[in-house]
Amino acid sequence: MLGRNVARYASGGHRNVRAISTSQILAFGARNSAILNRFKNEEIEAPSKLAQESSLPVIEQDLKTKPRHPSKKIPFLSDHKIENDPNYQMSGWKQSIGQWVIKTFSIDMDKSRAGPVAGSIYFGECKRQGLYYPNEPLSDTASFFYETLNLPKSFSQQYQIALLHYWILSVRMRAMPFKYGKNYQQKLIDRMFKDMELRMSQELKISSNRIIENYLKDYHTQLIGAVLSYDEGLMTDDITLASALWRNVFNGNPNVDMRHVEALLGYVRSQLYVLNKMSDREFGFGKFKFVPPDQVVQPLTKAQEADLKEKAKAEFAQHTLPSQTSSLSLDE
Amino acid sequence: MSTKNEIAQKIVALLKTLPKDRIKHYASFKDVQLERFQNKDLVAGISEKDLKLQYASLRDLVNDKYKNYYKLDDKLLVPKGNPNYYTRIMAEIRGEKKTSFLDAMKIVTFGK
């Protein structure tokens, strides 16, 4: 059965499948035009607005486990002053020594930058999206995931949300020169797992290291499976990517609201689009921020793209210090 | 009720056109959703408006609405850091070519 299916794909037979489904849609649409006209709008809506349109009765999914909630809060990134304080300024003499060392030893700053950018800025971006603490208000993105999409509040769910955002970033990192992209991916994933280890021990109060290690191994297995499924979805079609999202983010919920799956798929595709339009240099310097789900990403015109490129070039032309040198492209 | 049944039937017809998963997962979206929308009791509990929305969303997903709207170019789809990354994965998933042991060791050691 699998072989036949594979053969159909290899010969491009899935195109025929799409044609059949399209004709059925057209026939149904013609007969029920009044019903469907409202939803024929080709305009893209913001993911959170799209998801809120539906009021499907919520049937609680039995996850066969009672999630453990954090009983303590550790610092978002770390308690180190450089990482924790957004207004931290290194003293002038320290900066001068640093710049001298970089210049004298010709240090590859693109390689060094992977730590603070991927391992701190982008890690923070991934962690922030699904972060929740009991009795604390949710951020806009977290409320999209937990309130609009009705996902269960649990540590594993937070991980799945962070993993989805990791994958989105890693798609862009693969498009960087190999040695830099690989380094960025490694720094990001290492930091995510280090953070999970700390949170399981300090926030969830799991005292056994063996249990924590087993959880981390499980999460690693999930990472491999999810990345493969998302990659497959990226290279094939929307429904394959939607199925991957349904299995991983929606926990394979049989009573899932299709509107929610569509909203999340639109959210993921829009982030990838923004990353596609961003140059290696901008991305490598940590300029990317995930677009909040209550905003719509509109495709850029050629003129807008050229304008953005000009602005980026003008901005990076001012970066003349040894620590700001980069071989990453500003054109692609 | 008849309109609801009709929409449910169209959802089922649409789901039936989906190909089987290329890899066996712990749950199949197609099978699980087919079972759901063929269950008359479950469909009865959904309002007509919501059922239409379910159909409209599924139709958008099947028609690659977002893939076509947010078009990506070769920059991401053929990444310059590792141009064979996706072709190798897709060939393996489709069963066209299996990575040999030596190639696998090379990928593990050098990353591509």
Write the pLDDT tens digit of every residue in A61-109.
887 788 889 999 999 998 888 888 888 888 999 999 999 999 999 999 9
B1 vs chain A: nearest CA distance in angstroms? 14
As a three-state string, the secondary structure of B28-86 is CHHHHHHHHHHCHHHHHCCCHHHHHHHHHHHHHHHCCHHHHHCCCCHHHHCCCCCCCHH
Nearest-Cα residue of chain B relative to residue A225: B25
B8, B63: one domain: yes
A248, A287: one domain: yes
pLDDT for res B44: 86
A206, A75: one domain: yes
Q: Does A3 touch chain B (CB under 8 A)?
A: yes
Percentage of chain A beyond pLDDT 70 is 87
Higher per-residue confidence, A166 vs A79:
A166
Q: Measured between CB atoms, which of B36, B61, B70 is closest to A255?
A: B36
pLDDT for res A42: 64
Residue A124 lies in a domain: yes
A160, A237: one domain: yes
Residue A330: how many CA atoms within 13 Å on its side-chain side? 14
A238, A132: one domain: yes
ipTM greater than 0.85? yes
Mutate which: B14, B36, B60, B78, vs A, most A CBs within 10 A: B60
A26, A75: one domain: no
**Residues of the domain holding B46:** 2-69
3-class SS of residue A134:
coil
Average pLDDT over residues A238-242: 94
Residues of A in contact with B86 (CB under 8 A): 231, 234-235
- Kindly state the DSSP code that residue A298 receives in the 8-state scheme: P
A270 vs chain B: nearest CA distance in angstroms? 6
Tokens of B90: 């897709």
A94, A127: one domain: yes
Q: Measured between CB atoms, which of B3, B29, B57 is closest to A243?
A: B29
pLDDT for res A36: 47
Residues of A in contact with B88 (CB under 8 A): none
Q: Measured between CB atoms, which of B3, B46, B64 is closest to A237?
A: B64
**Residues of the domain holding A167:** 45-324
Residue A331 lies in a domain: no
Q: Measured between CB atoms, which of A42, A239, A254 is closest to B61?
A: A239
B32, B56: one domain: yes
Q: Does A181 touch chain B (CB under 8 A)?
A: yes
Residue A329 lies in a domain: no
Average pLDDT over residues A236-250: 94
Task: Write the CB contacts of A18 (distance below 8 Å, at least 6 apart in sequence).
Answer: B17, B62, B63
Mutate which: B12, B26, B29, vs A, most A CBs within 10 A: B29
B42, B81: one domain: no
B63, B104: one domain: no
Amino acid at A326: S
Residues of B in contact with A44 (CB under 8 A): 66, 69
